[in-house]
Amino acid sequence: MKKNTRKTLDEFIIERQDHFQYSTGELSRLLNSILLAARVVSYKIRKAGLIDIIGSAGATNVQGEDQQKLDLYAHNVFVETLVNREIVCGIASEENDNFITIEGLDEAHNNKYVVLMDPLDGSSNIDVNVSVGTIFSVYRRISPVGTPVAMEDFLQPGIKQVAAGYILYGTSTMIVYTTGKGVNGFTLNQAIGSFYLSHPNMKCPEDGNVYSVNEGNYVHFPQGVKDYIKYCQEEKENRPYTSRYIGSLVSDCHRNLMRGGVYMYPSTFKTPKGKLRLLYECNPMAFITEQAGGYASNGRTRILEMVPTELHERTPFYCGSKNMVKKVEEFVAKSE
């Protein structure tokens, strides 16, 4: 009988734990908690059209955006799972004004990791049954263990990430994550609730022929980005490129990671810092992309080297195949 060598994610995490020097298993348990919450959220999303969970919750988040019911649901599931398992000392979420300190549990102050997350990205797509995602990022705290978590623990540059990942609730549910030693993808077998290693050692092609941007905002883009878009559309060499924009960051970046391409959310006259959040969206996607051999930039410098000054900070974002993102930087530099 032929052996089935497909590993479950739980087996993979245990196996990889040995790669970390002085590992206490804390990061492994943290990843397992995220997985548990992901399964719960995935189950709910799969039923979204059948139960009263789509649509607006009637509130706006700290950024003035309408919060969808599933946004709040996902936020609560991830936060409760992490809090109940006493596995982190603090959590910051795109859905919450301030970071959450895990209180009432002395042991929680002894945990060394903080998690930052966008519990349900692209949620404006839910009502029309388009793929959405969860994005997460893990840092080791800077403040002394044993004390309550502090703002400095969250405002760290992306290069300090210990782990990052996304869950894509697409035609199938997938988790793609890195702990700084390459990128691996796992697909959920819905019937038994286990994730299986389906995409080992993912690599982002250095070049691609897909560009993803909301071209409706074209007139508001900086000149360098307009010039790059024209370059993508030129009939020369392997161009024009194909345009693909789902409007769901995780889905667009996942496709580009697999097949090659560049995702762009530039600044506009109305939003000089762009739309996407450095800590919850850009840093984790940048870490994963770079670990797969790609690159992420704010148009001038590497995303992972930006030093954040506030929790909900935004930044222009260009991410995907290395040579394509470098080309965007060239165009931006030329126009300045």
Tell me, what amino acid is at 158? Answer: G
Minimum CB separation from Mg ion for residue 100, in Å?
A: 18
Phi, psi of 188 (to 5 degrees): -80, 125
122 is an interface residue for ligand AHM by CB under 6 A: yes
248 is an interface residue for ligand AHM by CB under 6 A: yes
Tell me, what amino acid is at 53? Answer: I
65 is an interface residue for ligand AHM by CB under 6 A: yes
71 is an interface residue for Mg ion by CB under 5 A: no
- In terms of Cα–Cα distance, which of 141, 99, 164, 126 is closest to 45? 126
75 is an interface residue for ligand AHM by CB under 6 A: no
Of 102 and 296, the one with the shorter C-beta distance to Mg ion is 296
User: Is 121 marked as binding a ligand?
Assistant: yes
Q: Strands 242-243, 210-212: parallel, antiparallel or unpaired by DSSP? A: parallel
Q: How far is CA 230 from CA 163, 245, 281, in A?
A: 36, 16, 27
Of 118 and 252, the one with the shorter C-beta distance to Mg ion is 118
Handedness of CA 178, 158, 119, 66 (dihedral sign): negative
Q: Report the partner that residue 283 touches, choosing among Mg ion, ligand AHM, none (CB closer than 5 to 8 A by kind).
A: none
118 is an interface residue for Mg ion by CB under 5 A: yes
Q: Report the partner that residue 330 touches, choosing among Mg ion, ligand AHM, none (CB closer than 5 to 8 A by kind).
A: none
240 is an interface residue for ligand AHM by CB under 6 A: no
Among 81, 111, 123, 289, binds ligand AHM (CB under 6 A): 123
Of 111 and 173, the one with the shorter C-beta distance to Mg ion is 173
Instruction: Say how far apart CA 75 and CA 143 lie, in whole Å.
Output: 25
Span between the terminal Cα atoms of the chain, in Å = 64
Minimum CB separation from ligand AHM for residue 118, in Å?
A: 6
User: Is 123 marked as binding a ligand?
Assistant: yes
Strands (E) in 94-224, as ranges, are 100-101, 113-121, 132-140, 161-169, 173-178, 183-189, 194-199, 210-212
At residue 71, the 3 state secondary structure works out as: helix
At residue 282, the 3 state secondary structure works out as: helix
Residue 312 makes CB contacts below 8 A (sequence gap 6+) with: 62, 63, 94, 277, 279
Could you tell me which residues are beta bridge partners of residue 317? 265
Of 252 and 290, the one with the shorter C-beta distance to ligand AHM is 252
User: Is 207 marked as binding a ligand?
Assistant: no
User: Is 124 marked as binding a ligand?
Assistant: yes
Among 101, 143, 198, 214, binds ligand AHM (CB under 6 A): 214
Of 40 and 130, the one with the shorter C-beta distance to ligand AHM is 130
Q: Report the partner that residue 298 touches, choosing among ligand AHM, Mg ion, none (CB closer than 5 to 8 A by kind).
A: none
Among 75, 109, 255, 275, binds ligand AHM (CB under 6 A): 275
Annotated binding-site residue numbers for Mg(2+): 94, 118, 120-121, 281
Annotated binding-site residue numbers: 94, 118, 120-124, 214, 245, 275, 281
Footprint of ligand AHM on this chain (CB under 6 A)? Answer: 65, 118, 121-124, 214, 247-249, 252, 275
